[in-house]
A and B are shown apart, each in its own frame.
Chain A
Amino acid sequence: MPDSQRTTSPPRWLSMLRVIGWRLLQAIPTLLAISVLTFTIIRSAPGDPFANDKAVREEVRAQLEEHFGFDQPRHKQYFRWLYRAVFEFDLGPSTKQTGFSVNEIIAQHFPASLELGLYSLLIALLVGIPTGVIAAVKRNTVIDYGAMTLAMLGICLPTFVLGPLLLLLFSIGLGWFNPLGWEDPSDRVLPCLTMGLFYAAYIARLARGGMLDILNQDFVRTARAKGLPALQLVWKHTLKGGLLPVVNFLGPAFARIISGSFVIETIFFIPGLGRFFVTSAFNRDYNVIMGTVLFYAVLLITLNLVADIIQVLLNPRLRFDS
């Protein structure tokens, strides 16, 4: 049987390339569906993109609508938007931030979100993985129970409770950090800690589960019986396999970290894209909503694909096409 398998199946890298191509192809209808869905929802919503503190005169409104193309039939507007987005990489102008294009807005606000996400992920990995691995190695001891109860607490304490509490303690109480803003390097500490600890809790649980699966396997017992030091066993033989669930989680997690950052950015007044998206959803800034949703969708699809590739590379038993 292994013989027939060897002759029929193509080499690993080829099947991988094929799957990547297939997934990228699949992304096209997905992105189209997202754009149609978002367009339909925001355009059928009540509300006015030109609403202001002062009343807008009729002729001014007509001119504005003409300028942004909102006087055209809906489907024409959509196809025009789509054409410019695909062929000119232009997501259109913002109606609220006069003079700014959506591209400029994303370029301006995304770096803060990305920075927040990356630092948080770093904290999550640095805290989560060692905690999970130690808990697995010392399983069913006080250390294990303590670590896992802490992890559960971390998962159940929502970021929007932890964030304000940290603010109360360290900014208002002790005065160590500025309560709001994103200017000074020290402004990064509280937001990244808030988000990072939440994901650290998740990662600790995943790492523990994955390590336990590996530590129960025969080859580990053999290695132990041969007298391999415990540290070397964990470090050299089991860590790579045991952390697979964590790698698996990272793609979706990064996407979730970005979507979770709506909350963090709101609490700490960070000028990131998440907060901007929420504001523009309130303001009916049509192009900004469309642009940000699509931007995040592309990001999400890419990250998931990258996570899948890394997973296959790390685990030689996995094949891409199964």
Chain B
Amino acid sequence: MTTTAPSVEPVQSGSAPAPGDSGLPRNLEKGSSLWRDAWRRLAKNRMALASLIFLVFISLLSLFAPFISPYEFEEIKIGLGAVPPLSRHDDSFHFFGTDELGRDLFTRVLQGGRVSLAVGLVATATALIIGVTYGAVSGFAGGRLDAFLMRIVDILYALPFTMLVIVIMSAVEQRDPKHSLYIIFFCIGAVEWLTMSRIVRGQVMSLRQQEFVEAAISLGLSRSRILFRHILPNVFGPVIVYTTLTIPAVMLFESILSFLGFGVQAPMSSWGSLIKDGADKIDVYPWLLIFPGIFFSLTLFALNFLGDGLRDALDPKTSKD
């Protein structure tokens, strides 16, 4: 980041450097100052920054769950069924209490976070790859190919996807839980790329007309090189924003599937399946719903706020007021 032009230096008023800076391709000289501006705007937005910190915190907590909690998420203790939160029994302490099988709820919530966040990230990545490639090719090719590809998207939009995914999940539910987890990744990713492809297509279509693309063509660069090295980096802004907003949508979708009994199977847990277990026993053991519910809602809240913050930060038009 010290390699960038010194003329940019005074603008930086002691704020931390953008984490994305060093990861950008080198040919993005002009873009890097845009990214720094965006980071500064984001850092000023307290809600978005707090959301970012919260998300990092919850991810680390979930990631290191096996080291943080002394219990196993599938460890059943018959004598300690449905212990309320913050209660001490002999030598064991259960922060969030236990479920009716005596499994430590805190451990299970962290474990559920691993699954839910993994689904969110992997399925979104799937959607990202399909959507960006599809939209970019469609927008760059134009003409008949574009019309054809977009017609397919129109048709897919009309599918009752929730139902199809339920049918698919019910078809694989009897196999082992790991297996069904991959199917969830695939199914949700296959559903969520549609809007992404439309956004990317629109951006690429307008970028295609600009001078730097003409220059690249006249230099004799190949079409794929122009598309992937010169046009796509300019699409990152809207894509990042939409990605941040896709993650909560995906996590919600997974949790609906788990809630209906088609998602993650016991003894594995996701936030959705934990909430389902809690909802069934809301009248006797309300904490079984409340803790996973809080974790899930707060994560969705943070992701949405971060997405909104990124939109304001990356879109110079809206940042004026």
Interface: B155 (CB within 8 A): yes
- Cβ of B301 and Cβ of A156 under 8 Å apart? yes
- List A residues at the B interface (Cβ < 8 Å): 26-27, 29-30, 33-34, 37-38, 41-42, 44-47, 152-153, 155-158, 160-161, 163-165, 167-168, 172, 179, 255, 259-260, 262-263, 266-267, 277-278, 281-282, 284, 289, 292-293, 296-297, 300-301, 304
- A157 → chain B, closest Cβ, in Å? 5
Interface: B260 (CB within 8 A): yes
Q: How large is the interface on B (under 10, 10 to 19, 20 to 34, 35 or more residues)?
A: 35 or more
- Binary interface profile of B, 240-272, with partner A (CB < 8 Å = 1, else 0)? 000000001000100110011110000000001
Q: In the bound complex, what is the Cα–Cα distance between A257 and B143 (angstroms)?
A: 36
Query: 6 additional contacts, CB 8 Å, given A42-B170, A304-B157?
Result: A30-B159, A45-B172, A164-B289, A165-B289, A296-B160, A300-B158
Which of B19-27, B29-37, B196-204, B279-287 is found at the contact surface with chain A? B279-287
Query: Which of chain B's residues has its CB closest to A153's CB?
Result: B301
- Cβ of B160 and Cβ of A281 under 8 Å apart? no
Q: In the bound complex, what is the Cα–Cα distance between A263 and B261 (angstroms)?
A: 11
- Cβ of A172 and Cβ of B155 under 8 Å apart? no
- Binary interface profile of B, 295-308, with partner A (CB < 8 Å = 1, else 0)? 01110110011000
A172 and B160 contact, Cβ closer than 8 Å, known pairs A156-B304, A164-B278: no
Q: In the bound complex, what is the Cα–Cα distance between A176 and B146 (angstroms)?
A: 57
Please, which residues of chain A bring their CB within 8 A of the CB of B171? 41-42, 44-47
Which of B7-15, B119-127, B161-169 is found at the contact surface with chain A? B161-169
Within 8 A of A (CB), among B147-202: 151, 154-155, 157-160, 162-164, 166-168, 170-172, 174
- Cβ of A34 and Cβ of B160 under 8 Å apart? yes
**Contact for A161 among B174, B261, B275, CB less than 8 A:** B275
Please, which residues of chain A bring their CB within 8 A of the CB of B172? 45
- Cβ of B282 and Cβ of A168 under 8 Å apart? yes
- Cβ of B167 and Cβ of A281 under 8 Å apart? yes
- Cβ of A160 and Cβ of B305 under 8 Å apart? no
Q: Count contacts between A and B, CB distance < 8 Å.
A: 124
Please, which residues of chain A bring their CB within 8 A of the CB of B276? 160
Interface: B139 (CB within 8 A): no
Please, which residues of chain A bring their CB within 8 A of the CB of B301? 152-153, 156
- B133 → chain A, closest Cβ, in Å? 22
**Contact for B248 among A156, A263, A267, A278, CB less than 8 A:** A156
Q: In the bound complex, what is the Cα–Cα distance between A284 and B166 (angstroms)?
A: 12
Interface: B113 (CB within 8 A): no
**Contact for A37 among B154, B164, B255, B282, CB less than 8 A:** B164
Query: Which of chain A's residues has its CB closest to B154's CB?
Result: A26
Please, which residues of chain B bring their CB within 8 A of the CB of A157? 293, 297
Q: In the bound complex, what is the Cα–Cα distance between A320 and B158 (angstroms)?
A: 18
Please, which residues of chain B bring their CB within 8 A of the CB of A161? 275, 279, 289, 293, 296-297
**Contact for A263 among B256, B282, B304, CB less than 8 A:** B256
- B34 → chain A, closest Cβ, in Å? 24
Q: In the bound complex, what is the Cα–Cα distance between A172 and B282 (angstroms)?
A: 9
- Cβ of B158 and Cβ of A27 under 8 Å apart? yes
- Cβ of A300 and Cβ of B167 under 8 Å apart? no
A-B contact pairs, 5 of them (CB 8 A): A34-B160, A155-B300, A164-B282, A260-B256, A266-B259
